A and B are shown apart, each in its own frame.
Chain A
Amino acid sequence: DVKVTQSSRYLVKRTGEKVFLECVQDMDHENMFWYRQDPGLGLRLIYFSYDVKMKEKGDIPEGYSVSREKKERFSLILESASTNQTSMYLCASRGGSGANVLTFGAGSRLTVL
């Protein structure tokens, strides 16, 4: 089974801090995604990457950046965390162009004080 691992399950940060959320998948998937999930708003796509060093903005990229230096690792960066970025962050990966199934990590719950 594909495994998607998010390094931190719970984080508490202060406003203005730089935050790194790491995600690693072990099945050589091309596509990786970062979502945030908020009550009443569902899952919203922040950024995705379809190859090493490639990235595309999702629906809500403002305040975030990403890095994909290696195929298995996709990092989400909050340059200056704000309280409205308190959320559950979910990383997912998916195989090649013919694949449809997203496999999610367990999520990282970030609280910004």
Chain B
Amino acid sequence: RKEVEQDPGPFNVPEGATVAFNCTYSNSASQSFFWYRQDCRKEPKLLMSVYSSGNEDGRFTAQLNRASQYISLLIRDSKLSDSATYLCVVRGVKAAGNKLTFGGGTRVLVKP
């Protein structure tokens, strides 16, 4: 089983709609969770951290479910510019470096 798993998609989303997708992680001792966004042929960039109580940043809402070991990302009122690959990142507990493990990414395509 992969440490961090995501549905690769693509999720085809009409402009203005809501889309949500999950990411599961295997290590119950994982400490921190993030969503990164990667545009085509670009480097990944941090979208948002995921806090235990859930958090919102504009149209984006992230949630953590420790019992079921998954995080989620919800995008409301989708814009064409939201088209990207969304990478789930989990920070484990390890010696120096506290390794960050990436999921394979979920591709989102927002269409007019």
Contact = CB atoms under 8 A, between A and B. Distances in A.
B44 A104 contact: yes
A54 B95 CA distance: 13
Contacts, number: 48
B49 interface: yes
B45 interface: yes
B93 interface: no
Interface stretch (A12-20, A41-49, A60-68, A71-79): A41-49
Nearest to B3: A59
B32 interface: yes
Contacts of A40: 8, 104
B36 to A, nearest CB: 8
A102 B100 contact: yes
Interface in B28-48: 32, 34, 36, 42-46
Given A43-B102, A100-B34, A31 B87 contact: no
B97 A107 contact: no
Interface residues of A, number: 23
B22 to A, nearest CB: 16
Interface residues on B, range: 20 to 34
Contacts of A33: 100
B100 to A, nearest CB: 6
Among B8, B34, B42, B102, residue most surrounded by chain A Cβ atoms (within 10 Å): B102
Interface in B6-41: 8, 32, 34, 36
Nearest to A49: B97
Given A43-B87, A100-B49, A90 B32 contact: no
Given A40-B8, A42-B87, A100-B32, A106 B42 contact: yes
B67 interface: no
Interface of A: 31, 33, 35, 40-45, 48, 50, 54, 56, 58, 90, 97, 100-102, 104-107
